A and B are shown apart, each in its own frame.
Chain A
Amino acid sequence: MADISQQLQEQVLQARSGGEKLNIIGGGTKAFIGREPSRDASDLNVGGHTGIVDYHPVELVMTVRAGTPLREIEAVLAEQGQALHFEPPHFGPESTIGGTLACNLSGPSRPWAGSVRDQVLGIRLLNGKGEHLRFGGEVMKNVAGYDVSRLQAGALGTLGVITEISLKVMPHPAASLTLVQDMAMDEVLHYMNSRAAEPKPITAACWVDGKVYLRLSGAKSAVEATAEKWSGDVMNDGQAFWRSVQDMQHEFFAGKDAPLWRFSVGSTADNPVLEGDWFIDWAGSQRWFRGAGELSDMETQARAAGGQVSLFRGGDRTGEVMHSQPNALKTIQQRVKSSFDPDGLFNPGRLYSWM
């Protein structure tokens, strides 16, 4: 537990005056995300900036330094019967909350519980001028000023160094169970979305290897009554299954070098016609694909399904790995980047080659 924000600020100011670039690193478990880190940049280690700054269980709010490992946060929450409802993936024991927000990573509960972006209430940020700024706050409702906190989600650290995060936390559900049954891929999108349209306590829905998995969580009576009504067998080790989905330890994700594509699309959109294996999560909104292909071809497929695609892991990471941006949005994002980081200090080329 240490506050090294002053040291971080000095490093940023030094880099700025020395014309250096910085690669921001937390626990170092997500180096595979985004384009290959710049070799001309020095490391800025946020991993030492740790500790829970403030936690009031009754407020459902926790404020934590960005380098704090997820497992530490979750252990403290668990003592109070609370949890991070967005189920962030742990890519190792060192995975931090700061990296989770920068990469906007959320687990199987995301369509129902919201994402890490949804739960962020405020941040402190070191911008490229070395200014340590505070945005948002520690309350659920706050519309003073632009939402700079949520803007960071998915920016891969290109706008600044997130040093502190205030998050909404939620009670751990009283009961949970998982229903599993065989189903063909061409039936599953309709099935999962129909279930999601019912007012029942569904909190996860995925399909892999010819089986559909639905999780129910909440009040015990509600979970049990719904399980009675819905088809499927109750899974013995449901919790372990979802943990493997959350942390991407499921065997579908094995093999770190083969390309793993992530389609973020309309939940009911027809599946792209591609040769390879699929893992459908988030009731159809997040679809993982294993197979070779060009980003531009994948983009055509993703657009047809109402969304976007990225090369999440593996494959060639020297080219673009994120869905391309139309010109008007590219210009706006470059200007936003400059407004935070006028000298282009942070994570050069990590998100897009042009940023």
Chain B
Amino acid sequence: MATKPKISKAELADQFRTFIEPEYVITDDETIKPYECDGMSMYCEMPLLVVLPETVTQVQRIMRICHEHGIPVVARGAGTGLSAGAMPNKEGVVLSLAKFNRILHIDPLERTACLQPGVRNLAISEEAAQYGLYYGPDPSSQIACTIGGNVAENSGGVHCLKYGLTVHNILSVEMVTAEGDVVNVGSSGLDSCGMDLLALLTGSEGLLGVVTEVKVKLLPKPEVAQVVMAGFDSVQKAGDAVGGIISHGIIPGGLEMMDGHAIVAADDFSGAGYPREAKALLLCEVDGTEEEVHEHIAEAEAVFRKLGATSVRTSQSEQERALLWLGRKSAFPAVGRISPDYYCMDGTIPRRHIAKVLTDMQALSEEFGLRVANVFHAGDGNLHPLILFDANVPGEFERTEAFGAAILEMCVDVGGCITGEHGVGVEKIRQMAVQFNDLELQQFHDVKAAFDPSGILNPGKGVPALKFCQEYRSLEHKQHKHEHTEAAHG
């Protein structure tokens, strides 16, 4: 952590205002207020001030000043993150990249786009559409989230199994280091000499540098996409059907599962016509050439029927395909309607454990007295349990957090991980101690120090201080974890 003498808020603001227009150095509480949290609004903090630079040189100067005075810097895109990774530091600066919002260049032949970090994810595909191209990763926040934030979180979406995560879809980044240097990592080629720093930076949650430009790959838009919807009378059967599709050699563009609670809520919300009596629902999208989709859709329907689907429906038009997806895409707000609040978790598990994990989760749900609905990126094992609670009931959020922690530990126990795509941030920092031992966590701290020796970039996020880990792995806690290990392997 920073140890150098700090300067006052007023002095810092004055220094910034020598090279940034005064109104873009925000110091009054009322205007700062919207920056106090990201999409994970349970975690809030007011920063010292907020600054909105518009050139790379300005970002460099901000970093140099903060580095000199040991002031924490939290870079911020659209603030849609779901792990409080962009929650401000009360002694620090929020560096908003909102003014870096231009698509600099699209090269249709090379199939690439050069972007400022504040460009929205969906805007890339919208702009590329005129060339028959699109950008692969499509997190559900894609209408608002930015490419800079996507790099910081290594964002995924529903098409990861086939098209990969952010790390697979970017070629290079320009980044300002903690010390204020501009470096280019990666190139227009598909790889660079030496250790793969581009991969290291992707998903580093703003702890290693501030991204100021991104070059992404674009993909040709598939000729056709069709979706098969299949209902099942048990989660086990739906899980087996996912395996059946993959074993058949089909890699779907998207493969999503919902459980009973989520099906009903999503159907009420969207009118998608889901089989409401089903205990599990699969949406399997196949994309590619017309011939390929025709061949694979027929095979997928046959696999689902053979593995006990109680209903099978295939989209016959773009309109129908959009409707079937609408339910899934509105699952979060749909669940929001049946509960005052919900808390979205993000563990990943090996798919073969899906039935066991969902059954155990149901048992936990009863134990904690909180309902849970599940939407699941079944293709890549990423689980999004939505715990339903009421923040106005004293103690209920704390109970929700404890339930969430138990779910994440269950994911680790079956060979999965605590976060598939939302990041660790502040929210899951304690569970890092369950997934990694102290030597591994220390190695992370050492890597961080290689980029940011004085520890000013997003301090307190991503990797926990070791002393807190020992507390978290306390006896009582291990006892709780042990019970679930037994259940998972029993």
Chain A residues near B (Cβ < 8 Å): 56-61, 81, 104, 110-111, 114-115, 117-118, 127, 131, 133-135, 137-148, 150-155, 158-159, 170-172, 174, 190, 193-194, 196-201, 218-222, 224-226, 263-269, 282, 285-286, 305-308, 310, 322-323, 325-326, 328-329, 332-333, 335-336, 338-340, 351-352
A143–B419 touching, CB < 8 Å: yes
Question: How many angstroms from the CA of A144 to the CA of B440 in the assembled complex?
Answer: 12
Q: Which residues of A contact B108 (CB under 8 A)?
A: 197
Question: How many angstroms from the CA of A47 to the CA of B420 in the assembled complex?
Answer: 33
A307–B195 touching, CB < 8 Å: no
Give min CB distance, B53 to chain A, whole Å. Answer: 20
Other-chain residue from B164, B177, B222 in contact with A328 (beta carbon distance below 8 A): B177
Give min CB distance, B477 to chain A, whole Å. Answer: 18
Other-chain residue from B165, B191, B208 in contact with A141 (beta carbon distance below 8 A): B165
Question: How many angstroms from the CA of A226 to the CA of B110 in the assembled complex?
Answer: 21
Query: Which of B23-31, B227-235, B376-384 lies at the binding interface?
Result: B376-384
B190–A110 touching, CB < 8 Å: yes
A153–B110 touching, CB < 8 Å: no
B195–A151 touching, CB < 8 Å: yes
10 A-B pairs closest in CB distance: A306-B188, A307-B189, A150-B199, A266-B188, A264-B189, A335-B450, A141-B420, A339-B446, A222-B292, A221-B291
Other-chain residue from A144, A159, A198 in contact with B418 (beta carbon distance below 8 A): A144
- The interface bits of chain B over 441-471 (1 if a CB of A lies within 8 angstroms of the residue's CB, else 0) are 1011011111101000000001100000000
B295–A154 touching, CB < 8 Å: no
B249–A340 touching, CB < 8 Å: no
Question: How many angstroms from the CA of A91 to the CA of B132 in the assembled complex?
Answer: 39
Give min CB distance, B318 to chain A, whole Å. Answer: 16
B203–A329 touching, CB < 8 Å: no
Given contacts A141-B381, A145-B436, A199-B132, contact A154 B191 (CB under 8 A): yes
The tally of CB-CB contacts under 8 A between chains A and B is 283
Most buried by B among A81, A137, A225, A310: A137
Give min CB distance, A285 to chain B, whole Å. Answer: 5
Q: Closest chain B residue to A171 by CB distance?
A: B249
A197–B220 touching, CB < 8 Å: yes
Q: Which residues of A contact B184 (CB under 8 A)?
A: 326
B196–A152 touching, CB < 8 Å: yes
Q: Which residues of A contact B415 (CB under 8 A)?
A: 137-139
Q: Which residues of B196-216 are within 8 A (CB) of A?
A: 196-197, 199-200, 202-204, 208
Give min CB distance, B307 to chain A, whole Å. Answer: 13
Question: How many angstroms from the CA of A335 to the CA of B195 in the assembled complex?
Answer: 12
Query: Which of B5-13, B267-275, B343-351, B396-404 lies at the binding interface?
Result: B343-351
Q: Which residues of A contact B419 (CB under 8 A)?
A: 142-144
Give min CB distance, A31 to chain B, whole Å. Answer: 18
A264–B191 touching, CB < 8 Å: yes
Given contacts A141-B156, A145-B440, contact A104 B196 (CB under 8 A): yes
Q: Which residues of B contact A104 (CB under 8 A)?
A: 191, 196
B382–A141 touching, CB < 8 Å: yes
Give min CB distance, A57 to chain B, whole Å. Answer: 7
Other-chain residue from A59, A144, A338 in contact with B450 (beta carbon distance below 8 A): A338
A199–B289 touching, CB < 8 Å: yes
Give min CB distance, B418 to chain A, whole Å. Answer: 5
- In addition to A146-B448, A151-B196, A154-B191, 16 A-B residue pairs with Cβ atoms within 8 Å of each other are A127-B443, A139-B350, A139-B380, A139-B415, A143-B420, A145-B462, A146-B444, A151-B195, A199-B223, A219-B288, A225-B291, A265-B189, A266-B187, A306-B187, A307-B192, A308-B192
A226–B202 touching, CB < 8 Å: no
Q: Which residues of B170-192 are within 8 A (CB) of A?
A: 177, 181-185, 187-192
A111–B190 touching, CB < 8 Å: yes
A332–B380 touching, CB < 8 Å: no
Other-chain residue from A133, A137, A152 in contact with B417 (beta carbon distance below 8 A): A137
Give min CB distance, A320 to chain B, whole Å. Answer: 10
Q: Closest chain B residue to A114 by CB distance?
A: B168
Question: How many angstroms from the CA of A145 to the CA of B191 in the assembled complex?
Answer: 22
Other-chain residue from A81, A114, A133, A351 in contact with B194 (beta carbon distance below 8 A): A351
B222–A199 touching, CB < 8 Å: yes
Give min CB distance, A194 to chain B, whole Å. Answer: 7
Question: How many angstroms from the CA of A131 to the CA of B167 in the assembled complex?
Answer: 27
Given contacts A138-B350, A307-B187, contact A329 B197 (CB under 8 A): yes
Question: How many angstroms from the CA of A198 to the CA of B108 in the assembled complex?
Answer: 11
A151–B189 touching, CB < 8 Å: no
A268–B288 touching, CB < 8 Å: no
B192–A332 touching, CB < 8 Å: no
